[in-house]
Amino acid sequence: TGLFFQAQPQLKNPFLEDPLLGRYLRRHQPHQQAVFSDLQAFGERISGEVDAWGRECEVNPPRLVPFDPWGRRVDHIVTSPAWQRMKELSASEGLVAIGYERSCGEWSRVHQMSKLFLYSPSSGLFTCPLAMTDGAAKVIQSLGVPPAVDSAYRRLTSRDPERFWTSGQWMTERRGGSDVAAGTETLAEPQPDGSYRLHGFKWFTSATDADMTLTLGRVVGRDGSTPPGSRGLSLFYAEVRRDPQGRLEGIEVQRLKDKLGTRQMPTAELLLDGLPAHRLAEEGRGVASIANMLTVTRIHNSVAAAAAMRRVVQLARDYATRRSAFGRRLQDHPLHLQTLARMEVEARAAFLLVMEVSRLLGREETGVASPLDRHLLRLLTPVLKLYSAKQAVAVVSEGLESFGGQGYMEDTGLPGLLRDAQVLSIWEGTTNVLSLDVLRCVARSSGLVLQAYFTQTQALLGHASRLPPLAPAVGALEGALSALGVFVEEAAARPPSYLELAA
Ligand code: MFK
Ligand code: FAD
């Protein structure tokens, strides 16, 4: 009995282990050679060293040191050396920069998201600050890189670990995270030099060790009044800095959240007590301006979802070649194989949809998107985020079961995958809030986004109907589409509000 060792799943180079990713890139990505060698080398680093850092982030989570030994407030969020190494790695591997250098033209986002797809399950959740960093860069870029944030923009998109900055995204307050318009109590007091001081309470701020943030607040008028509702919110940029005494300028960290998962990264409650800030967009355009950030972070969320599914399937497949039960390897039990196959189908579907939306984003950013592409990007982003997040929880849960009891054991690292998947449907818009976002964009485009989807799907069905095994499924889908067509025509004829549509 002393000689017993349980078979252990092995993480191999995740790029070489994923034939679908290779096939997708071979078929579509025109800059194949450069992208392949980048992904292959990165995959080697992930299995060779980075995955162990991710584990270290989990077992050595961040902690808050509010005071120094002499009672002075310091608000230090102490993170693990592995978490700090993740920041250096993210810069040098260009995990944000690739999206802005655009050396693969319209395919740059596909390159970037493929790399994040390999990295995500080994990243110790460093993909969370990267998502927000990318989103902040996107907002700044879409505003024409105002001079006040030119230097910040260059840092967010830098490959130099010494210069690279990460950004936060402080939107959620105590009265509401979905309903940002009603929930935001933060006040922005104008200063004589044109800047602002923010006063408020941010209830959830993740990766709070960031260098800067984008956030929302209400500008206080000369008479002390504040504008209500969504159109009363403005977008602010603030740096997280310390004064000469070592105190955070205008911020107190109330506490770190005690979370089900995502324990690798700090999520704090912050009191903003005169935080110096710059208004980035026109007053009252806060929600509309930060929407660009939401598009990017929701795509990152979907990359994380697809990647979690891919990783658990990769490990489960490997385990099935090693573990035996009832005299045969698990891979030789047809029922077990069927379970793995069902997980594989979900993982592939999520991956392909992520790639499609990333492709559309890349086309939009390089000015080659058609109106159809732009409508599809707007429609598919919330659909992708809500669907992939839900599927990730289901597939990762099934994945854990495929390791039997070992899937439940903390020190295998497997339970963390499930805990971290559970957040994907909550942050960046819950499932129902994103469903309403789908209806919002259908209504505000007078049905054009759905029409675009309709056109695209019919074209794809045309291709599929030429493949005999798919013919029965194509027939059923065509029936469903013509029912949808009636709905689209109605929406186009009479632009209803999305709430009417929801009803
Ligand atoms: C591993 C990687 C994972 C990523 C890391 C994540 C870390 C965690 C970070 C967070 O969780 S940050 C907090 C995220 N919070 C949310 O996602 C908020 C969820 N709630 C919504 O999305 C609501 O729908 C929303 C706050 C946007 C509703 O606000 P309003 O003000 O009631 O919406 P309204 O009045 O319909 O829209 C205001 C404007 O924004 C309109 O533009 P116009 O004024 O020009 O007409 C809308 O068209 C525009 N808009 C809203 N949603 C949009 C959008 N535009 C484009 N895309 C969207 N999705
Ligand atoms: P609520 O809005 O109160 O939602 C509660 C329920 O009501 C949900 O099921 C929701 O779907 C439903 N609901 C709400 N409105 C409607 C509606 N109109 N129709 C139907 N159903 C509805 N936020 C940040 O800004 N920055 C961060 O860095 C950040 N990090 C986070 C980290 C973690 C680990 C977590 C868990 C959250 C984080 N958040 C962050 C907050 C997150 O974005 C919000 O929790 C989320 O947007 C939901 O908001 P809420 O908690 O106020 O829930």
Element (H, E) at 31: none
Evaluate whether 166 touches 135 at the Cβ level (below 8 Å).
Answer: no
- Residue with CA closest to ligand 2 atom 3: 176
Q: Is the pLDDT of residue 496 over 70?
A: no
**Which sequence spans correspond to the domains of the chain?**
167-287, 445-502
Q: Is the pLDDT of residue 499 over 70?
A: no
> Which has more confidence, 185 or 473?
185
Which of 74-88, 403-417, 426-440, 449-463 shows the lowest mean pLDDT across its residues? 449-463
Q: Is the pLDDT of residue 503 over 70?
A: no
pLDDT at residue number 460: 82
**Tell me: domain 167-287, CATH 1.10.10.10, correct?**
no
Cα distance between residue 70 and residue 179, in whole Å: 41
- Categorize the per-residue pLDDT at 433 as very low, low, confident or very high, splitting at 50, 70 and 90: very high
pLDDT by residue (tens digit) across 160-190? Answer: 999 999 999 999 999 989 999 999 999 999 9
The helix/strand/coil state of 82 is helix
Pocket of ligand 1 (CB under 6 A): 127-128, 131-132, 169, 171-172, 177-178, 180-181, 206, 230, 287-288, 291, 294-295, 297, 300-301, 304, 427-429, 433, 437, 440, 444
Residue whose CB lies within 8 A of the most ligand 1 atoms, among 428, 449, 499, for a mutation test = 428
Cα distance between residue 75 and residue 401, in whole Å: 41
pLDDT at residue number 402: 98
Residue whose CB lies within 8 A of the most ligand 2 atoms, among 133, 178, 422, for a mutation test = 178
187: Cβ below 6 Å to ligand 2?
A: no
Q: Is the pLDDT of residue 277 over 60?
A: yes
Task: Pull the structure tokens for residue 172.
Answer: 């959620």
Which of 48-52, 389-393, 476-480, 490-494 shows the lowest mean pLDDT across its residues? 490-494
pLDDT at residue number 463: 79
Contacts of 238 (CB under 8 A, 6+ apart): 198, 212, 213, 215, 250, 275, 276, 277, 278
User: Which atom number of ligand 1 is nearest to the Cα of residue 130?
Assistant: 2
Q: Which value does ipTM take for this structure?
A: 0.99
Mean pLDDT of 471-497: 68
The whole-chain average pLDDT of the chain stands at 94
> Which has more confidence, 126 or 462?
126
> Which has more confidence, 416 or 499?
416
- Categorize the per-residue pLDDT at 377 as very low, low, confident or very high, splitting at 50, 70 and 90: very high
- Categorize the per-residue pLDDT at 458 as very low, low, confident or very high, splitting at 50, 70 and 90: confident
Cα distance between residue 95 and residue 120, in whole Å: 11
User: Which atom number of ligand 1 is nearest to the Cα of residue 181?
Assistant: 31
CA distances from 352 to 16, 48, 361 (A): 17, 27, 14
Q: Is the pLDDT of residue 313 over 50?
A: yes
203: Cβ below 6 Å to ligand 2?
A: no
pLDDT by residue (tens digit) across 390-410? Answer: 999 999 999 999 999 999 999
- Categorize the per-residue pLDDT at 278 as very low, low, confident or very high, splitting at 50, 70 and 90: very high
